[in-house]
Chains A and B, each alone.
Chain A
């Protein structure tokens, strides 16, 4: 190659390379296999690099807290509103003003103080054995405490935040005493000790160990995808109520910008992108969840489960009442 050609090639390369690719750092309690496709898509769309670390939400927030001013994290992405509320309480997040997010995310699925925003929705609903139970037998979450379900109920452990949030929302809806009676009723109806995860609970229902259980919708979707012949049906409870408890209990996976973010603008753009059309489909479909943006249609498998009324109490109550919920479950003997 002639020297001038070489020089030209070099100059071309030098200008084509970004001096320092913009970077956003994410701390995620949402598993790697679910978020990596999204982050890859974001990088393709915008050129922004995303560095992320995954861990359980507890240690993740402890880490964020310990790092303080010098944390590399720009975004905290977690599952369950309870965790986001806690992060806000611990002053780990900062409020942001975003017209895009206000437009895309319904009010009951984001922080009234604008520190966190839901990005996908999951419902915690009833799954039943189609050969043993008719939909007419089911009605509400509270009904599961009825003695007619004795020995026919399976539940996931109370240690999982999903159940803690469910009970927390119920305390908002029914008050603490009624909720405690309900949970005691559930415990006395258990067919076997609580399972470590929703999938095992559903498998127990399918195998006949019990007849009904409570799960997050995406676990149902995943299980049916793997094994379409299972005798499992999905039921939306609390549809005919007129009070605060009306509607299926929903929760979110969501994100917020960290208080000490080094790139808060980039972080905000990422979260806004995650709430936008393209990402919403990717985000939700990868895990068979509902898009938080009500204008976006869910994945067709999910849509086939039918529409339902969701409970409209702000999900932050799941966090603010979590401690009470956990203590309630301990008192009721729900392991």
Chain B
């Protein structure tokens, strides 16, 4: 810990005098937050102690090879698709002018409100052999061999359409603050606009694109619902299988550890690219600097953006609405208001907690920018790559243990007669949401905080602002866009979340996502459309809020 103390000279303890290492409060905070995330990891790994060679040997021989291939293809496919989609759309919307640009600015974020597992069952419902498209084609042209939606390509397509907004939004922020400057610099060196994009603007934005890509890929790795609908085997589905079908916690733990290893490697790479981030706001991009596209190019841009929006959002939602219309009479009852209310309340509380803790964590990094701090920060965010149910159990077990201890102590000392102290509350749930979604909150806030240079701090200090004032009167207003982005990401993600909510909810706390589970687990996809639609509608509002406020603070 002495190395954390950057300013004081190294003290040599004289004989008999013990020198306490300088503990930074910020360091402790960051370590505590990281420790929270490591609890479920530790719980999962604790089952390593029972070696169960049989199951693991079986999995290694028959299941693991296919898994690794599947996962690698998935990560590659989604990674490329999401990057291409996100970056191209972000560039068009941030830097160019074409008809409808203002609409697409926020509309292209709408797929965030649609859970990937919903897009999955809509896509299969529409495009599979038994769906309306193939049936119509068969009736018109006779039996024909069409590309199979229930395939690797189908999974990549659905996940990419659901996850590109992460890259889109973050890249858009990067381009709108740096893009114009980068292009001007490139053009002053004699490069064309295209070259300027590829050789200057894109590399400058790369750390931000990497951050968005990390979010998308972590969510892909952790996803279970979509993989279950496609029957696509990944590490997450194998962990479930080992745990619940083969009743082998050790095997599940071992698979989970391989997953975490992958994620840590990716985190290390991202850390390296983060180090190349150019800090400081580079000036705002004025509307007058937008690239005016030729009519053909503008038409193509419009077509491209419209197609993406159509297949990622409009078509799935329309199908949901049609299905919901059929079941609404039977299923829509007064309880739906309670479900919606629970969803909104939990998402709201969860988002507040995630944003608050993310801000603390990011601030800690600013105050004590050491290597340990960096690692603590990175570790704190890996919860996002953890399969939801594993995380839920990993947190539930220690909380239940703590609860039992509290109850027993309470009984011995105070005659406490109840059976729940922590378990009946929302504590576990909110804690699990925090651990899982810290990544989506931390990413945008840290990027935003990095943009506030030390010069700003010094200027404020010179003008007499104290530490508290620095935060509230200088940093927070400058961070508004990032805070809003973080809040919206967290809110929407919690609304869509299923396994943690299912497992940790107290009695009577069913949410819309729980309803979707009830229906899809019985194969009643049409009935699942109603709560799915409600989730989408509830999620759209914060998204529109985000971009409306965002548009007001940028040029």
Q: How distant is the Cα of A89 from the Cα of B389 in the complex, in angstroms?
A: 22
> A333 to nearest B CB, angstroms?
8
Contact B393 A56 (CB under 8 A): no
Contacts of B424 in A (CB 8 A): 72
Tell me the chain A residues, 240-274 only, with Cβ under 8 Å from chain B: 262
Interface segment among A10-18, A59-67, A103-111: the answer is A59-67
Contacts of A204 in B (CB 8 A): 129-130
The answer to whether the Cβ of B523 comes within 8 Å of any Cβ in the partner chain is yes
Contact A164 B502 (CB under 8 A): no
Contact A198 B396 (CB under 8 A): no
Tell me the chain A residues, 5-29 only, with Cβ under 8 Å from chain B: 25
Q: How distant is the Cα of A199 from the Cα of B525 in the complex, in angstroms?
A: 10
**Candidates A52, A66, A157, A194; contact of B396 at CB < 8 Å:** A66
Q: Which of B148, B396, B400, B518 has the most CB of A within 10 A?
A: B400
Q: How distant is the Cα of A196 from the Cα of B245 in the complex, in angstroms?
A: 16
**Candidates B63, B148, B521; contact of A330 at CB < 8 Å:** B63
Interface segment among B171-179, B196-204, B236-244, B342-350: the answer is B236-244
Q: A67-B400, A207-B135 are in contact. Are A55 and B502 (CB under 8 A)?
A: yes
Q: How distant is the Cα of A7 from the Cα of B407 in the complex, in angstroms?
A: 40
The answer to whether the Cβ of B325 comes within 8 Å of any Cβ in the partner chain is no
Interface segment among B225-233, B298-306, B433-441: the answer is B225-233
Tell me the chain A residues, 75-122 only, with Cβ under 8 Å from chain B: 86, 89
Contact A196 B502 (CB under 8 A): no
Q: How distant is the Cα of A327 from the Cα of B241 in the complex, in angstroms?
A: 11
User: Using an 8 Å CB-CB cutoff, how does the interface string of A190-234 with B read, 1 for contact, 0 for none?
Assistant: 001111111110011011010000000001000000000000000
The answer to whether the Cβ of A326 comes within 8 Å of any Cβ in the partner chain is yes
The answer to whether the Cβ of A297 comes within 8 Å of any Cβ in the partner chain is no
Contacts of B141 in A (CB 8 A): none
Which B residue sits closest to A331, measured CB to CB? B62
Contacts of B101 in A (CB 8 A): none
**Candidates B130, B246, B502; contact of A326 at CB < 8 Å:** B246
Across chains A and B, the number of contacting residue pairs, with CB separation under 8 Å, is 129
The answer to whether the Cβ of B414 comes within 8 Å of any Cβ in the partner chain is no
Contact B404 A159 (CB under 8 A): no
Q: A51-B507, A59-B499, A62-B393 are in contact. Are A209 and B130 (CB under 8 A)?
A: yes
The answer to whether the Cβ of A58 comes within 8 Å of any Cβ in the partner chain is yes
User: Using an 8 Å CB-CB cutoff, how does the interface string of A303-335 with B read, 1 for contact, 0 for none?
Assistant: 000000000000000000011001100110001
Contact A330 B62 (CB under 8 A): yes
Q: How distant is the Cα of A71 from the Cα of B393 in the complex, in angstroms?
A: 15
Q: How distant is the Cα of A152 from the Cα of B352 in the complex, in angstroms?
A: 54
The answer to whether the Cβ of A54 comes within 8 Å of any Cβ in the partner chain is yes
The answer to whether the Cβ of B458 comes within 8 Å of any Cβ in the partner chain is no
User: Using an 8 Å CB-CB cutoff, how does the interface string of B92-113 with A read, 1 for contact, 0 for none?
Assistant: 0000000000000000000000
Contacts of B150 in A (CB 8 A): 192-193
The answer to whether the Cβ of B397 comes within 8 Å of any Cβ in the partner chain is yes
Q: Which bracket fits the contact residues of B?
A: 35 or more
Interface of A is mostly: helix
User: Using an 8 Å CB-CB cutoff, how does the interface string of B182-206 with A read, 1 for contact, 0 for none?
Assistant: 0000000000000000000000000
Tell me the chain B residues, 142-184 only, with Cβ under 8 Å from chain A: 148, 150-151
The answer to whether the Cβ of A43 comes within 8 Å of any Cβ in the partner chain is no
Q: A59-B503, A69-B404 are in contact. Are A330 and B58 (CB under 8 A)?
A: yes
The answer to whether the Cβ of A31 comes within 8 Å of any Cβ in the partner chain is yes
Q: How distant is the Cα of A322 from the Cα of B230 in the complex, in angstroms?
A: 23
The answer to whether the Cβ of B522 comes within 8 Å of any Cβ in the partner chain is yes
> A330 to nearest B CB, angstroms?
4
Tell me the chain A residues, 102-151 only, with Cβ under 8 Å from chain B: none
Q: How distant is the Cα of A181 from the Cα of B393 in the complex, in angstroms?
A: 37
> A322 to nearest B CB, angstroms?
7
Contacts of B389 in A (CB 8 A): 56, 58-59
In order of increasing CB-CB distance, the 5 nearest A-B pairs are A58-B244, A197-B523, A66-B400, A199-B523, A330-B62
What are 30 contact pairs spanning A and B, CB under 8 A? A33-B518, A58-B240, A58-B243, A58-B244, A62-B393, A62-B397, A67-B400, A67-B403, A67-B423, A68-B400, A69-B404, A70-B403, A71-B419, A72-B419, A89-B247, A157-B231, A161-B245, A164-B245, A193-B148, A194-B231, A196-B228, A196-B229, A196-B230, A200-B130, A200-B523, A323-B248, A326-B246, A330-B58, A330-B63, A335-B231
- Interface residues in chain A, defined as those with a beta carbon under 8 Å from any beta carbon in chain B: 25, 31-33, 51-60, 62-63, 66-72, 86, 89, 157, 159, 161, 164, 192-200, 203-204, 206-207, 209, 219, 262, 322-323, 326-327, 330-331, 335
